[in-house]
Structure 1
């Protein structure tokens, strides 16, 4: 029996190799926050200062990775809109199309407290950085209350309303978690729109399943939204949760359609 292997262009083959190199470097780099945390433990500084320093290291690493992805020719990306600086007490949301969506948001938004998968909180390689950075597990029964408390303290919360990567750009199956946090905290919402064309690193795809044509990632920073702009805040809270979830889903549907349809 003959094994038929599809022919790859030189550029396509290089991008598959570049993907492997990037993932190896990512795995190595994931150990750096842990080493840094051990060093921080020796310094006479308070917990809040340590947490902020860990988040700064994570942001620097994420910025390095997204720039490496572009420099290697694996993918290209562009930033659109006014990138926020020195924000506090915001809920940051994004649609979720790729495995590396969080890298882009972490790279370009400061002082983020992420809502992370519960499995990462039990992973021996990610447990210590997640704990030291003060991130919240999506399996925490008090997730909404904890996020609202952190927002009140001036932290920015990052959550993907879909909860997991979508299968296609306009699927956008928003859950209520983001809306619940926004309503409970009355936090301003910073929407970020991420689109990858052609799509890559989607749900169920292997790291080496790279599109023949190089993907371009567009990261859009939209204007901050106040909840009162979106829904009637005089309605019962449970109704506000549902209405805001629907409003945000419709907002993203229009925003993503404008990018992928252009």
Structure 2
């Protein structure tokens, strides 16, 4: 899809905004199919809670913890629009470059370029997905969040929607190999939680942007701790 379909979209569809929407819709529906197949073949199971809240989050930043390689797949499959911040180095990957450019994803380059791009997406009712850990969580270790998500929210005056992801069996972690399948079918639970207003952290005029970002990051660190997976089989 990256080599042929998304590259073709960029060539054929001249309107950049329309190309972005078509690409993100293609990603969403292909991920829905992929997840349905994993459940159908009993590779894993998953449950979404409060997913309808995302329909209200145009112009919002979605922040989630990051235990598995599938986290982006789960969220991109159900978000009405999913704009991502990706590593600059991925643009050098022949298999990733096409989809990144076609989907309008943002490379994590210098902040003077990154912030205006984020502001433009949020102003056009986009939704930016950020994993503030920067990488997948090491199982059994405490989360350590970077301040990038908080800085973007504060400087772009955007609300943050919290999402927690939990899996009862470690799968596709940073240390694990993709072919190491857990002995028991893993169950993922994706919970869409409350929304945080960045304005609450800038209301105090005596606080500097750095202090506000530190306070907001501390709040995110507390609220992104996932709850145990429920055993209910229903989606």
Do they fold alike, i.e. is TM over 0.5? yes
- 100 and 119 in structure 1: CA distance in 2 versus 1, 3 angstrom threshold: farther
CA distance in 2, matches of 1:47, 1:39: 10
The aligned counterpart of 1:245 is 217
Cα offset, 1:98, TM superposition: 0.4
- 85 and 260 in structure 1: CA distance in 2 versus 1, 3 angstrom threshold: closer
Runs of at least 4 residues off by over 4 Å:
none
Aligned partner of residue 209 in structure 1, secondary structure? coil
- 261 and 129 in structure 1: CA distance in 2 versus 1, 3 angstrom threshold: closer
Matches within 5 A, 1:82-121: 82-83=51-52, 84-85=54-55, 87-121=57-91
Larger Rg, first or second structure (1 or 2): 1
Q: Retained in 1: the 8 A contact 2:161–2:196?
A: yes
Alignment TM-score, normalising by the size of structure 1: 0.80
Matches within 5 A, 1:47-126: 47-83=16-52, 84-85=54-55, 87-126=57-96
Aligned length: 227
Q: Does 1:236 align with 2:205?
A: no
Cα offset, 1:37, TM superposition: 4.0
Cα offset, 1:223, TM superposition: 2.4
CA distance in 2, matches of 1:259, 1:163: 23
CA distance in 2, matches of 1:105, 1:42: 28
Question: Which structure carries more relative contact order (alpha carbon 8 Å, separation 6+)?
Answer: 2
Unaligned 5+ runs, structure 1: 1-28
Alignment TM-score, normalising by the size of structure 2: 0.88
**Superposition RMSD in Å:** 2.1
CA distance in 2, matches of 1:170, 1:82: 27
Cα offset, 1:100, TM superposition: 1.2
Cα offset, 1:94, TM superposition: 0.7
